[in-house]
């Protein structure tokens, strides 16, 4: 779970220090959630994780606006404080003495229970006939149980929802998947689906596809948001009777991480494959584009995300990224598409 992994990364980087500055917090976040690096969603996600860790008494956030970075929303703490090693949180009621229903019986075996109030609210819900309630969206159930529509989102990274424990179904609710933005191709287009990482490239591809009928649909992945909206893909694939789902994004670590993590999320139901034709075009732009770039101060450290690309592309991409350079997908734009030869049914 990301919250638990962030806590572990913070402890490692703190090296025994109680107070951890924001730069170290960001470094720990980048270690456990690399797909968020550089994304607009990174700051809100980090803020949610820190709030959850404070709620679970894993760390303490500062009090007072002067201790927060307000340069962007949401505000983030300039530092967090970790408890001494071995320190334990204290609850007023010994949770092991409570008569829990079967769904919460696992709590008796836990040495500590931070979210006791949440567990008691769930116990009351089940006792009041909650098992027979209609299934509703998760945030509707959350505001009913806790008076906070986002509390359940945070709790899902806590000990209450660890493997084999509570599920959303226990609380008679379900996740709502944000819809994927997409535009259908002309009638008779090949039954394949292309997901584009960035907005401006999506605009060029959807207009080009309206003329060329290369894809049954072009979708806008919205960068890292695809990790949330990918849940809408099974519905679209069934409705459009899609045979092949391709992805085209930036050739940098973040772009590859989005693709690789989404592909892993969708397996085995859907095989998200690289749009080889468009990555080949992007690599063909390398000499012209990279000549105008200066390498970053530090080369990019590549992880397993590079394995998502086919072997014949991998070495070329590694050579570029290892030098601290990148290829934005916008290099394959409207003018490139307008000069494209007729599109084959298969790459």
Residue 313 sits in the same domain as residue 333:
yes
Judged against a pLDDT cut of 80, whether residue 163 lies above it is answered with yes
Residue 142 sits in the same domain as residue 188:
no
Residue 64 sits in the same domain as residue 110:
no
Q: What is the pLDDT of residues 1-44, one digit of tens each?
A: 467 778 888 988 988 888 999 999 999 998 888 877 777 778 88
Residue 104's Cβ-side half-sphere holds a number of Cα atoms within 13 Å equal to 22
Residue 20 sits in the same domain as residue 66:
yes
Rounded distance between C-alpha atoms, residue 243 and residue 347, angstroms: 13
Judged against a pLDDT cut of 90, whether residue 321 lies above it is answered with no
Nearest Cα to Cα of residue 62 among 43, 80, 89, 44: 80
pLDDT in the model for residue 345: 41
Domain boundary among 174, 203, 236: 174
Give the residue with greater pLDDT, 319 vs 295: 319
Total domains present in the chain: 3
Domain boundary among 174, 200, 234: 174
Domain boundary among 174, 200, 217: 174
| pLDDT band at residue 243 using 50, 70 and 90 as cut-offs | very high
Average pLDDT over residues 129-145: 95
**H-state helical runs in the chain:** 2-14, 22-32, 42-55, 116-127, 138-146, 151-155, 199-212, 226-229, 233-240, 253-266, 276-284, 286-290, 311-321, 334-338
In this structure, the chain runs to a length of: 347
Helix (H, G, I), strand (E, B) or coil at 314: helix
Which tokens go with 116? 């006791």
Residue 160 sits in the same domain as residue 195:
no
Average pLDDT over residues 156-185: 94
Average pLDDT, the chain: 87
Helix (H, G, I), strand (E, B) or coil at 127: helix
* Residue 147: exposure state from Cβ atoms within 10 A (0-12, 13-18, ≥19): exposed
Give the residue with greater pLDDT, 341 vs 214: 214
Judged against a pLDDT cut of 50, whether residue 281 lies above it is answered with yes
Under 8 Å between Cβ of 48 and 22:
no
pLDDT in the model for residue 343: 53
CA terminus-to-terminus distance, the chain: 37
Under 8 Å between Cβ of 17 and 23:
no
Which tokens go with 312? 């014949």
Residue 326 sits in the same domain as residue 217:
yes
Judged against a pLDDT cut of 90, whether residue 282 lies above it is answered with yes
* Residue 45: exposure state from Cβ atoms within 10 A (0-12, 13-18, ≥19): middle
Any domain includes 88 = no
Range of the domain at 167: 95-174
Residue 334 sits in the same domain as residue 248:
yes
Indicate the pTM of the whole model.
Answer: 0.65
Residue 257 sits in the same domain as residue 299:
yes
Residue 219 sits in the same domain as residue 310:
yes
Residue 327 sits in the same domain as residue 243:
yes
């Amino acid at each position: 779970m990301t919250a638990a992994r962030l806590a572990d990364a913070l402890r490692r980087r703190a090296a025994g220090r109680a107070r951890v500055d924001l730069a170290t917090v960001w470094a720990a976040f980048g270690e456990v959630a690399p797909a968020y690096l550089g994304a607009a969603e990174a700051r809100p996600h980090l803020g949610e994780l820190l709030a959850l860790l404070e709620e679970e008494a894993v760390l303490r956030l500062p009090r007072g606006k002067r201790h927060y970075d307000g340069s962007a929303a949401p505000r983030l703490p300039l530092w967090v404080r970790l408890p001494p090693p071995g320190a334990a949180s204290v609850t007023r009621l010994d949770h092991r003495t409570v008569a829990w229903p079967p769904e919460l019986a696992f709590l008796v075996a836990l040495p500590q229970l931070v979210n006791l109030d949440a567990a008691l609210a769930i116990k009351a819900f089940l006792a009041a006939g909650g098992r027979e309630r209609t299934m509703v969206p998760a945030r509707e159930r959350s505001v009913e149980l806790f008076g906070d529509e986002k509390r359940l989102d945070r709790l899902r990274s806590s000990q209450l929802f660890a493997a084999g424990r509570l599920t959303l179904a226990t609380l008679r609710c379900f996740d709502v998947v944000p819809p994927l933005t997409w535009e259908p191709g002309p009638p008779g287009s090949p039954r394949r689906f292309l997901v584009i990482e960035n907005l401006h490239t999506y605009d060029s591809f959807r207009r080009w596809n309206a003329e060329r009928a290369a894809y049954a649909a072009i979708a806008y992945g919205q960068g890292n948001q695809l990790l949330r909206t990918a849940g809408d893909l099974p519905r679209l694939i069934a409705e459009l009777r899609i045979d092949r789902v391709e992805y085209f994004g930036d050739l940098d670590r973040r772009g590859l991480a989005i693709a690789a993590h989404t592909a892993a999320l969708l397996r085995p139901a859907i095989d998200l494959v690289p749009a080889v034709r468009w990555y080949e075009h992007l690599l063909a732009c390398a000499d012209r584009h990279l000549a105008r770039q200066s390498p970053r101060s530090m080369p990019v450290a590549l992880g397993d995300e590079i394995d998502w690309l086919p072997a014949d592309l991998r070495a070329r991409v590694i050579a570029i990224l290892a030098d601290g350079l990148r290829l934005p997908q916008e290099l394959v734009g409207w003018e490139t598409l307008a000069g494209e030869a007729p599109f084959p049914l298969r790459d």
